[in-house]
Chain A
Amino acid sequence: MTMLARKPAATAPATLSAPASFAALPRVSRLRPILAQVIPPLLVVVALAALWQFAASGPNATLPPPTKVWADARELITDPFFDNGGLDKGLFWHLLASLQRVALGFALAAVAGIFLGLLVGTSDFAMRGLDPIFQVLRTVPPLAWLPLALAAFREAQPSAIFVIFITSIWPIIINTAVGVRNVPQDYRNVAAVIRLRGPAFFWKIVLPAAAPYIFTGLKIGIGLSWLAIIAAEMLIGGVGIGFFIWDAWNSSNLSDIIVALTYVGLVGFALDRIVALAGRVATRGTSAS
């Protein structure tokens, strides 16, 4: 215990005292950093809303101003959970349907993408054989796959999921492969000295070292999925936020479209943050340092 006490005595109190004194600060000082984060975006939103109100208030305005959106779509904004049967549902149900498709398509893409990425990253043969094909296929726009998917599956639901899958898999494959190829030589040397080989080397060195790259791929992938699902749903119809927007356009409910777009943006942002958070937890804050 003497050894324990000797060295940390100098460092430990310093690190401990920081949060303690932080908590002792008056409440106003603690709120200040939070307010500094919240106030600027709030001001910008208010300013943009005012600008929009002004721009859309003229007699020749083609788009509704915020006040009109509120008046038209009040029910849609305040009650996202109503369900009158058919397609007449609250936005929550449309978003839920879209999210379910994304969840399934993205999960399949994550599993297949990480597997293929690991393969391409570890095997030169797989790399030479598969990489040119990946590089060509990844440039195909998501919606271009839809007719082919509809022809193959003959149903809307699996076709939409396939579009999600094929859209989000490329960044996952490519980032995983790069992560595997970039395992630092230092770590390989350590593994060589302790004779860590085969599957153990893979699980204990390659996978953790590549994890930050894999999560970068997943983060890009989830963003692309959300972009693709909206477009795909516009074409396939049924319950889903994409078709909701298309339906609103067909019935000239511009206010509904604006509300839906806001929700789409917020959900996309949330998805991005959730994957980023999962990445931080999984790489335990040690990412590519």
Chain B
Amino acid sequence: MDRFLDISQLSVAFPKAPVPVLREIDLQIARGEYVAVIGHSGCGKSTLLNVIAGLLPATAGGVVLEGREIEGPGPDRAVVFQNHSLLPWLTCYENVKLAVDQTLSKTMSRAERHDWVLENLALVRMTHAKDKRPSEISGGMKQRIGIARALSMKPKVLLLDEPFGALDALTRAHLQDQVMEIHASRGTTVVMITHDVDEAVLLSDRIVMLTNGPNARIGEILEVDLPRPRDRLALAADPRFVAARTAVLEFLHARHANPALAAA
């Protein structure tokens, strides 16, 4: 298997905590692959993403991207944060421009960077709002700007941290379709954290299911063998889609039921 992004024997423990959050995670991700990580709240999904992003240090083991070990955050692993994290004092254009100027100034001229910002805004269909500030646009639009900002860094891996979690169902579906299109057109490798089973099955090539934390491990990895491009309407009745969905639900609710809910 192509070891584009290689997570090996990764354990993460927080200071003063007796048990590590994540234990001995092993995961290899191929170039261009779309991988979803799913699990109950508190299982350490976001911790895993933050370690890949370099925002959190690994306690043991490590992450290697294209043969180089990750030490700290960088634009080759762009993150789309759950709460968009746009800078409120900058316009949408300026938010993307800041990332582009900061990461691509060595390889692109000023004019090229300007065009590249506009191209990424167009990719998420936000050209019309480029001069608005984040407070003036909706949650879904903010998340699209967040995606444009992440993509504009030309990342090797795009990290999505529950990117659609705070959105309403219709907006979420719309953005999922857009992310699928972008994944198809740019061929970016994607690691997405989610707690939405349908989202995971619809978008991913593989679904990594984590057991309950602390001390969470990879419980199971499901290959989603569905042809692309995928259409949510056609898939709803597709037996392969239903089977994958059932498998994930079965893992989450039968074999690894939420401990918080079980106790209640």
A and B bind: yes
Chain A interface residues toward B at CB < 8 A: 3-4, 6-8, 12, 186-187, 189-190, 192-196, 200, 204-205, 208-209, 211, 283-286, 289
- Please determine whether B87 and A187 come into contact, CB atoms closer than 8 angstroms: yes
For the complex formed, measure the closest distance between the CB of A276 and the CB atoms of chain B, giving whole angstroms: 17
Find chain A residues with CB under 8 A from B125 CB: 3, 6-7
- Measured between beta carbons, the chain A residues less than 8 angstroms from B81 are 186, 189-190
A3:B89 contact, CB within 8 angstroms: no
Determine the residue in chain A with the shortest Cβ distance to B72.
A192
- Which residues does chain B contribute within 8 Å of A289, judged by CB atoms? 88, 135
Give the residue of A7, A187, A211 whose beta carbon is less than 8 angstroms from that of B128: A7
Q: Which of B26-34, B96-104, B109-117, B165-173 is the contact stretch?
A: B96-104
Partner of B55, one of A189, A196, A205, A209: A189
- Neighbour of A211 across the interface among B78, B83, B89, B103, CB < 8 A: B89
Q: Which residues of B contact A190 (CB under 8 A)?
A: 81, 85, 87
Q: B46-82: contact bitstring with A at CB < 8 Å (1 yes, 0 no)? A: 0000000111000000000000000011110111010
Indicate whether B108 reaches chain A with its CB closer than 8 angstroms.
Answer: no
Q: A204-B98, A286-B135 are in contact. Are A195 and B127 (CB under 8 A)?
A: no
A284: chain B residues within 8 A (beta carbon): 89, 133
Within the complex, the shortest CB–CB distance from B133 to chain A, in Å, comes to 6
Q: How far is the CA of A4 from the CA of B135 in the complex (A)?
A: 20
CB of A208 within 8 A of CB of B87, answer yes
Which residues of B have CB within 8 Å of A7? 125, 128
CA distance A191 to B98 in the complex (A): 10
Q: In the complex the two chains form, what is the Cα distance from A193 to B102 in whole Å?
A: 10
Give Cα A195 to B134, complex, Å: 22
Is B122's beta carbon under 8 Å from chain A? yes
| Chain A residues, Cβ within 8 Å of B89 | 208-209, 211, 283-284, 286
Q: Which of B77, B88, B135 contacts A193 (CB 8 A)?
A: B77
Given contacts A186-B85, A187-B85, A284-B133, contact A193 B74 (CB under 8 A): yes
Do A189 and B85 touch (CB < 8 A)? Answer: yes
Within 8 A of A (CB), among B91-148: 98-99, 102-103, 122, 125, 127-129, 133-135
Instruction: Give the residue name and chain of the B residue nearest to A15 (CB).
Output: B136
Q: Is the CB of B85 within 8 A of A194?
A: no
- What are 13 A-B contacts with C-beta separation under 8 Å? A3-B127, A7-B125, A186-B81, A186-B85, A187-B87, A189-B55, A193-B53, A193-B73, A193-B77, A193-B153, A195-B103, A200-B102, A208-B87
Does the CB pair A195–B133 fall under 8 Å?
no
Which B residues are in CB contact (< 8 Å) with A200? 102
Chain B residues with CB below 8 A from A194, complex form: 75, 98-99, 102-103, 153
Give the residue name and chain of the A residue nearest to B133 (CB).
Answer: A286
If the complex has contacts A205-B87, A283-B89, are A192 and B128 also in contact, measured as CB distance less than 8 A?
Answer: no
Assembled-state Cα–Cα distance A284/B98 (Å): 18
| Residues on the B chain within 8 Å of A8, using CB | 128-129
Quick one: which of B74, B83, B88 contacts A195, CB cutoff 8 A?
B74
Report whether A195 and B135 are in contact in the complex, using a CB–CB cutoff of 8 Å.
Answer: no
B128 CB contacts on chain A under 8 angstroms: 4, 7-8, 12
Q: Are the C-beta atoms of B78 and A193 separated by less than 8 Å? A: yes
By beta carbon, the residue of chain A nearest B55 is A189
Q: Which of the listed residues A193, A200, A208, A211 has the most CB atoms from chain B within 10 Å of its own CB?
A: A193
* A84 → B minimal CB distance (Å): 51
Query: Which A residues lie within 8 Å of B134 (CB)?
Result: 286
List 5 other contacts, CB 8 Å, given A189-B55, A208-B87: A3-B127, A192-B73, A193-B74, A193-B77, A289-B88
Query: CA–CA, A192 to B99, complex, Å?
Result: 11
Q: Complex Cα distance A193/B99, Å?
A: 9
- The CA-CA distance from A205 to B128 in the complex, in Å, is 26
Question: Nearest CB to that of A282 among chain B residues?
Answer: B89
The residue on A at minimum CB distance from B73 is: A192
Q: B185 to chain A: closest CB distance in Å?
A: 14
Chain A residue at minimum C-beta to C-beta distance from B146: A190
Residues of B within 8 A of A205 (CB): 87
Q: Nearest CB to that of A204 among chain B residues?
A: B98
Residues of A within 8 A of B78 (CB): 193
Residue pair B98, A195 in contact (C-beta under 8 Å): no
Find the residue from B54, B78, B128 having the highest chain A CB count within 10 A.
B128
Which of B72, B81, B89 has the most chain A CB within a 10 Å cutoff? Answer: B89
| Residues in B neighbouring A283, C-beta threshold 8 A | 89
Q: 5 tightest CB-CB pairs across the interface, nearest first?
A: A186-B85, A286-B88, A192-B73, A194-B102, A8-B128
Asked if B102 and A4 make an inter-chain contact with CB atoms under 8 angstroms apart, the answer reads no
CB distance from A209 to the nearest CB of B (A): 8
A contact residues around B83 at 8 Å (CB):
186
Query: For residue A189, which residues in chain B have a CB less than 8 angstroms away from its CB?
Result: 55, 73, 79, 81, 85
